[in-house]
Structure formats: structure tokens, C-alpha cells
Amino acid sequence: MVTSALDGMLRMLVPAVLVGMLAGCAAGPDFRRPEPPASSTYLPGAQPSGTVAAMGPGGSPQRFDTGADIPSEWWSLFRSESLDRRIRIALEESPTLAKARARLAQAREDLNARAGATQYPAADAGISATRQKLNLASLGVSNIPEPGPFTLYNASISISYALDLFGGNRRALEGLGAQVDYRRFELEAARRTLAANVVNAAIRQASLRARIGIARDLLEAQGRQFAITEDRYMAGGVSALDVRNQNVLLDQTRALLPPLERQLAQVTHQLAVYEGREPAGSAIDAFDLDALHLPEEVPLSLPSSLARKRPDIRAAEALWHQACANVGVAAADLFPKITLRGSLGSQRTDSGEHLNGVNVWSIAGNLMQPIFRGGELRARKRSAVAAYDEAAAVYRQTVLQGLQEVADALSALDMDARTLQVRADAAEHARVGYGIARQQYLIGGISHLALLDAQRQLLQSEFDRLQAQADRYADTAALLHALGGGWREIE
């Protein structure tokens, strides 16, 4: 009997549920994916097809392969196994990515919870026991003996379902689905940015190590020169001022080392943190700038594909989508809501009699139409529309910022190549000039001050060349990062 009553109630509720799921259109606007950027280039006027060449390491000319796709592991273009290994470790161990993964998992479960609560009827079972005593006299019954206290046992099953006639629940699920997309793109953006940070830190570490090496080599050479100057002073060949000037130069070169070593320690500690490790217990590779390969063929995807490759743009699109769905939710709140409820059960004074059949059941429908809320619901809809307009503007701004970053990186690479060309020429001239000056000084052809000036020029020119080389590597990484390098779909 219980089964037949339950079947009967389900036969009445299920058609209504299906009607509620299928009937009506969702309120509010439908979200449409925005059009990609219309421009075919990133820079005004003629876009450069490549860069100039320079002497020495990192001076190869670069060619921009317009329309080519960016490799998912774009850092492999630098051809450094050590760099690849460090990035693999960072992508596996970074707490930043662990946090983003947890947020994505949370968003997915929020969607699952809301889907379970709105797409299907809610069924609950309950059992209760209540001790009661009736006062018949209070009910106006006086000719029947008053019964004693008794226990009422109740076992019941209740089913309820809110019909989604105007799509409020569907739009809410759509918004939560967009939130899942946002968290997914947020995770991808964190992954891509982490890889770029490791590359930039490795380049900076390599540059600092090279500059420290130059300073130490020059310090050693200046130390030998100081010894020669002291010998010549003892022999009466130079003045005490020459010895003091050489000593000053030694002190100036020594003063360069502590700031460079401090920066090297900081960037090494940062690499450890990127990998999710404590700085004190992590062995970080020593990167060599000359061992990094400058990518000569640089893929340059079109602006039209930028919006599909950059996860920050995709994330802004997902938030725009969510705002659109929220407009639909606010619009649906203006319309009636219909809820169907049904229950069946057994109420007995003997707990062993529940299996004898159902003796209590009910079916009910509830319609609720907002009439007066002081303008609250319409204000909420206007607020949702304003949030939608804001999200659209944020998306547009994100696209423009992405185009700007690519344009800036392209311009920087062109300038970097020219700068390195000039710095490399200057370093070579300074190196040759210092060699000539040193020989002339040893034979007494020039003054000690002239030799010191040649040494200063050599140190500064080497530092400038290294900085230009490092800038070229870093801006190449920045271009690949700005183009959406490292993109991969996350399930």
C-alpha cells in the first residue's frame, strides 16, 4: 500500500516537474561571445619583421613569424634543460597554483550543489515520536471518557520541487558555470605567470652572476696593477698620488660587489619560493646567461587569436558571462514562483504498525507573486544591469591591455637589439682600448690616470653590454608571455 501511494504521488508530481523544467524561456539577455580584435597588427604603421644583429652572445637577429602559434611550453625556446627543470618543479610544487586549484574545485562543487538543489525534486524522509495527551473538554467533548497519555509515531516522505518557469534557476546555474570558467582561467593565468616569473628570475640571476664575475675579474686585474704601481712607486717611477688613485679604484670596484651579491641572493631566494621550497633548504641551479639560447624564430600570433590565448582575457569574459546570467536571475525574481509539494506517511500509536499502510498524505501547490517590495526587486535588476555594463567595460579594458603589452614587448625587442648592437661595439672598443692603454702605461707612454680611465670605461661598457643582453632575453620572454604563451586547456 505504501508503494502504491508513493507511485501515485510521483505520477502526479513528475509531469509537473517536467513541465517546469521545459516550459518558458529564461529571463534576461543571452550572453554572446565578444568579437575578437579587428586589427591585423599590434603596432601602428609597419610592424617590424625582425631585429638587427649584434656582436657577441645574445646578438643573433630575431625574426617574427607572424601568425604562428605559441608553443604551450614556450620557455623551451631558450633551450636550457636547467630552466625547463626549474619550471617543471615550480608548476608541480608552487602553493600559488595549489590555491588556484582549490578555488577551481570549490567553484565546481558550488555548481554541483546548486544543480542538485534546483534541477531535481528534493525528497526527505522523517521519523518522529511525540508523547501527547488530549483534553477532550477543551475541544467541547464531554460525554466521552478522557483518554490517557499516548505516544504518536510518525514516518513520512516529503517531496518538493520549484518550477523554473521563467528560468531563474537556469540562469543561476549559468552564472555558477561561468564562475567555474573564471576559476579555470584564473588557474591557467597563475600557471602562465609563474612560468614567466621563473624565466625572468633565471635571466636576472644569470645577469647578476655575469656582472659579479666581471667585477671580480677586473678587481683581480686592478689588484695586480696596484702591486705594479706600488713597485714603481718604491722605485721612484710614479708618485704617491698614483698609488692612492689606484687604491681608490680598487675600493670602488670592491664596493660594486656587495649590492650585486645581495641582489643575487634575493633572486635565488625568490626562485626557491616559486618552487614552493624554503630558501634555506633549496639548491637552485646557477644559470649562465651565455648558456641561454636567444630564440631566433619568434612566433607572433595575430591579434584576433589573442583573446582566445590569454587566460586573463578569457577570465574577464567569464565574469562578463556571469554578470549576464545575474541579470537573468534578477529579472526572473519579478515573476511568479510555483512550488509543488507532496508527502505521504503513516501516523500510528504503535510503532510496529507502520508497515500496515499509509494513512496520511498530501499534495499542495504554492504560487508566490511579488506585489510590493518597495522597489527592491527592480532596483536589484538595475544593479545587475549596471554590473553587466561594468563587466563588459572590464573585458574591453583587459583586451586593450593585452594588445598594449604585446605592442610594448615588440617595440622593446626592436630597441633591445639596437641597444645591444651599440653596447657590444662599445664593449669591444673598450676592451681593445684598455689593452692598448695597459701596454702604453707599462712602457711609460701614458699617465696612470689615463689607465684608470680606460679601466673604468671597460667595466662600465661590460656592465652595459650584459644589461642589454639580459634585457633582450627578458623582453623576448615578455612577448611570448603577453601573446598567451603556455596556454593549455584545464579539465
pLDDT digits (tens, 9 = 90+) for 225-240: 888 888 888 888 778 8
Is pLDDT of 104 > 90?
A: yes
Is pLDDT of 21 > 60?
A: no
- The pLDDT of residue 253 is 86
Is pLDDT of 306 > 50?
A: yes
Comparing 2-6, 113-117, 347-351, 458-462, which segment has the lowest mean pLDDT? Answer: 2-6
Which pTM does this prediction carry?
A: 0.84
353 or 434, which is more confident: 434
Mean pLDDT, rounded, of the chain? 87
CB 295 within 8 A of CB 353: no
CA distances from 122 to 9, 158, 160, 190 (A): 14, 8, 5, 39
Is pLDDT of 129 > 70?
A: yes
CA distances from 305 to 73, 146, 244, 338, 403 (A): 18, 85, 63, 45, 11
- The pLDDT of residue 471 is 94
- The pLDDT of residue 13 is 47
- The pLDDT of residue 487 is 56
Q: How far is Cα 49 from Cα 61, in angstroms, rounded to an integer?
A: 11
- The pLDDT of residue 188 is 94
CA distances from 358 to 2, 133, 149, 253, 281 (A): 5, 23, 24, 97, 70
pLDDT digits (tens, 9 = 90+) for 28-49: 788 999 998 888 899 988 888 8
Is pLDDT of 127 > 60?
A: yes
Taking the CA atoms of residue 320, residue 325, residue 330 and residue 331 in that order, the dihedral angle to the nearest 10 degrees is 120
Q: Which of 121, 210, 287 is nearest to 459 (CA)?
A: 210
Is pLDDT of 151 > 80?
A: yes
Q: How far is Cα 252 from Cα 226, in angstroms, rounded to an integer?
A: 13
Sequence spans of domains, the chain: 26-121+166-336+378-482
Radius of gyration for the chain, computed over Cα atoms and rounded to the nearest angstrom: 38
Comparing 44-48, 136-140, 180-184, 334-338, which segment has the lowest mean pLDDT? Answer: 136-140
CB 88 within 8 A of CB 276: no
Amino acid identity of 286?
A
Give one word for 323, left, alpha or beta, with left for phi > 0 and alpha for psi -120 to 50. Answer: alpha
Share of the chain above pLDDT 90, in %: 54
What would the CATH number be for the domain defined by 26-121+166-336+378-482? Answer: 1.20.1600.10
32 or 21, which is more confident: 32
Q: Grade residue 425 by pLDDT with cuts at 50, 70 and 90.
A: very high
Is pLDDT of 164 > 70?
A: yes
- The pLDDT of residue 16 is 45
Mean pLDDT of 144-156: 82
Question: Residue 71 half-sphere exposure, CB side, CA atoms within 13 Å?
Answer: 10
pLDDT digits (tens, 9 = 90+) for 288-298: 988 899 999 99
246 or 176, which is more confident: 176
